[in-house]
Structure 1
Amino acid sequence: MTSRLNIIVASTRPGRVGASVGKWFHEVAAAHPGFEANLVDLAEFDLPVYDEPKHPRLQDYAHEHTKKWAASVASADAFVFVTPEYNYGTTPALLNALNYVYTEWNYKPAGFVSYAGVSGGMRAVEHVKPTLNVLKVVPLVESVLVPMVSEKVKDGVFTPGDIQVQSAKVMLDELARWTGALKPLRG
C-alpha cells in the first residue's frame, strides 16, 4: 500500500530555484514504490502572515486560504520540505505555513531537500526542526543536501549530482519506514 507524500516547495521568492529542485525530487519520489508523490508549492497557496482569529488546535478556520492549506496538509502521510537557506535559517513562508495548522501535521514524518551555497542548506533544516517537533512531526536524519545549487540549475532545470541521487533514495526508503510506523498513531 502506498502512502501520500507531499513534497513542499518552501521558497516563494521570485526567481527562485526551489521549484526546479522540487520538480526533480518529485520525479524521484514518484518512482518510489512506497509513495504517491504530490508536489505542493507554497507560492500557490499565497498564505498571508498568520491571520486566523482562533488557535490552530481548534481547527475552526475562518479563511478559505487556511481551509485549503489545512486540507493539503491533512491529506499527506509524510512530507519532504524543499527549502533554501536564508540568513542561516529557513524561509519565512515555511515557518508561517507550519504555524497555520496544528493537528493536521501530527504523527507524520518529514524529510528535507535543502539547498544553498556552501552549506547546502543544513542550517535551514536545523532551524525548522524545533518547530516540527512541537507540531509532532518526526524529522528524519537522512536528507538531501545541495551545496552550490546555482551551479546545478541551468535554464530552469536542476541536474543533481550522484550524491543527491543516492541521498534521495536513502531518505525515501527511511521515510517509507517511518510513515508506516507512525500510521497507527494517527488512527
Structure 2
Amino acid sequence: MTKIGIIVGSTRPGRNAEAVARWVYESAAQRTDAEFEIVDLLDYKLPLLDEATPAGYGNYSQPHTKAWAEKIASLDGFVIVTGEYNRSMPAALKNAIDFVYAEWNNKAVGFVSYGSAGGARAVEHLRGIAGEMQLADVRSQVTLSLFTDFENFAAFKPADSHREALVTTLDQVVAWSKALAPLRAS
C-alpha cells in the first residue's frame, strides 16, 4: 500500500499547522488508495542542522537524524502543511528538509498552505526546493487564508470550497507516488 506522510511544517507554539494537518488527515483517512499518517516535526526534535557532512552523502551520525531519515524513507509521498512566515516557509520546515537527501528522492509532494496570501509564497519556495530534492511536486494545492479560514487568526474553520482542492491534491499525490514507485525500487 502506498504510504503518504502529512508533514506538520511548523514547531511554533500556538501553531495553526497542527489543526490544518488534522483536517487533511480526516479527509485522507476516508480514502482506500493509500495509507496516510501525520508526521509532526515536533516529534523529531531536530536542532539547527548539526551533521558534519552534507546530507547527500547519507552519512548520518546523530540519532535524531537517523530517526528522521528512517521516517522519511518509510513514506512514498508527502503532503506538506506549511504556514507562510515572512514570505517563505517556517525555518523548522526548511531545516527538516535539509537534514536528509536520498530519503526524499523519487517521491511526490503536495502542499496545503495558509497565511495572509494563502501561503502561496511559501509554496513557491518549497517547489524550488522540491526539485533539488528530486521530489515531484504536484500542480494542485490548497491555499487557506488567515482572514477567512481562521477565526481570530487561530481557530481553523476552512471554507467548504477548499475540500475540492484538497481532494484533487490528494489524488495527484497518490497517483504520482504510485507512478514513481519503479524509480524508488531501482
> What TM-score, normalized to structure 1?
0.93
Q: Which residue of 1 is the match for residue 43 of structure 2?
A: 44
Tell me the distance in 1 between the aligned counterparts of 2:148 and 2:160.
17
Quote the Cα distance in structure 2 between the aligned partners of 1:15 and 1:175. Answer: 28
Alpha-carbon displacement from aligned partner over 1:132-178 (angstroms, at most 9, x marks no partner): 11110011110111012675358x76332122111111111111211
Q: Identity rate of aligned residues, in percent?
A: 39
Determine helix, strand or coil for the equivalent of 1:142.
Answer: strand
Write out aligned runs for 1:61-140 (5 A). 61-117=60-116, 119-140=117-138
Paired residues, number: 184
Correspondence for 2:2: 3
Q: How far is the alpha carbon of 1:58 from its aligned partner?
A: 2.2
- Segments of 5+ residues of structure 2 without an aligned counterpart are none
Q: Deviations over 1:92-114 (max 9, x none)?
A: 11111111000000000000000
Q: What is the RMSD of the two structures over their aligned residues, measured on CA atoms?
A: 1.5
Q: Any residues of structure 2 matched to 1:143-158 within 5 Å, and which?
A: 143-148=141-146, 151-153=149-151, 158=156
Which of structure 1's runs of 4+ aligned residues deviate more than 6 A?
Answer: none
In the alignment, the residues of structure 2 paired with residue 89 and residue 169 of structure 1 have an alpha-carbon distance, to the nearest angstrom, of 25
Distance 2:62 2:71 in 1: 15
Shift in CA distance, 65/102, structure 1 to aligned 2, threshold 3 Å: same
CA distance in 1: counterparts of 2:168 and 2:130, whole angstroms: 21
Superposed CA deviations along residues 39-92 of structure 1, whole A, max 9, x for unmatched, are: 011122111111111221222211110001001100110000000000110111
CA contact (8 A) 2:20 2:81 kept: yes
Q: Counterpart of 2:80 in 1: which secondary structure?
A: strand
SS in 1 for 2:127: helix
* Counterparts of 2:139 and 2:68, CA distance in 1: 26
Alignment-derived partner of residue 12 in structure 1: 11
